[in-house]
Amino acid sequence: MNSPAITLDIKDGVAWLTLARPEKRNAVDPEFALRLHELAEHCAADQQIRCVVLTGSGKFFCVGGDIDAFSAAGEDAEAAVGALAHSFHAGIHRLATMEKPLVTAINGPAAGAGLSLAILGDIALAAASAHFTSAYSAVGLTPDGGASWWLPRLIGMRRAQEMLFTNRRIGAEEAAQFGLVTRVVTDDALRAEASTVASALAKGPIRALARCRALLMESATADLSAQLEREAASIAESAGAAEGREGVAAFLAKRPPRFM
């Protein structure tokens, strides 16, 4: 039996999804895309999982689509790549909309679809050796994985245009400076830092964090009046929920909250 393209390890409420095709630099192929969707659905549904970490194995995070597979499709490339993109996007969408936080621990270079995966995290931690490249137009292709949606929102239209049109390589420090990632840590410290962040999030008010995720996603297309209404409804719901009551009680009692 072939090894899975992505592995799942769950410990203390944190699910670690590890891209596990190091011999292919964790490139995205149909098996990878299907596995991503399956595991994203599992993480979203499993109530014991309170935070998800996405990272890569080997020296690369993910170099994007498996170009060898694209070439092998020959005259069927349009249908094959379209099917792969739709499958991959199902996993991307589930990770982006699940009701629990996502941390990306970017252990090395990220390009193409790998760039899309890397910037998907609510908290995106980059190893110092990581770098980021759009790569699509270099091989005559266009973005997938939500890159054209996320990039303008994270780094602005001008920088997004430069990344997509010129394929300029962005180093980890520069990526942090203009908001492509949250921060940079040393390569040796990446996993430990991701674990610390994920553990803290898993012990936090994940239902409130889920509402924060939803509000931020909705804000991209909402006008101010609609967003204010959503915020009012969300904070009211949060105040009436167990997490909100515990948070207020802990604040008044001057003790750490115990979120479940």
CB atoms under 10 Å from CB of 4, counted, come to 15
- Rounded distance, CA 244 to CA 260, Å? 11
pTM of the model: 0.94
- Give the integer Cα–Cα distance in Å for 247 and 171: 39
- As a whole number, mean pLDDT of residues 137-146 equals 93
The predicted structure's pLDDT at residue 67: 79
DSSP type of residue 51? E
Residue 1 has pLDDT above 70, yes or no: no
Q: Is the pLDDT of residue 70 over 80?
A: no
* Averaged pLDDT, 41-67: 96
| pLDDT mean over 45-63 | 98
pLDDT mean over 136-161: 95
The CATH architecture assigned to 6-202 reads: Alpha-Beta Complex (3.90)
Please state, for a pLDDT cut of 70, what percent of the chain lies above it. 100
Least confident of 71-75, 84-88, 157-161: 71-75
Concatenated DSSP letters of 179-246: TSSSEEE-GGGHHHHHHHHHHHHHTS-HHHHHHHHHHHHHHTT--HHHHHHHHHHHHHHHHHSHHHHH
pLDDT of residue 74: 82
Per residue in 208-229, pLDDT tens?
Answer: 999 999 999 999 889 999 999 9
Q: What is the mean pLDDT of residues 234-254?
A: 96
Q: Quick one: pLDDT at residue 227?
A: 96
pLDDT of residue 220: 86
Work out the pLDDT band at 3, boundaries 50, 70, 90.
Answer: confident
Rounded to whole angstroms, the Cα distance separating 224 from 221 reads 10
The residues spanned by each domain of the chain are: 6-202, 205-253
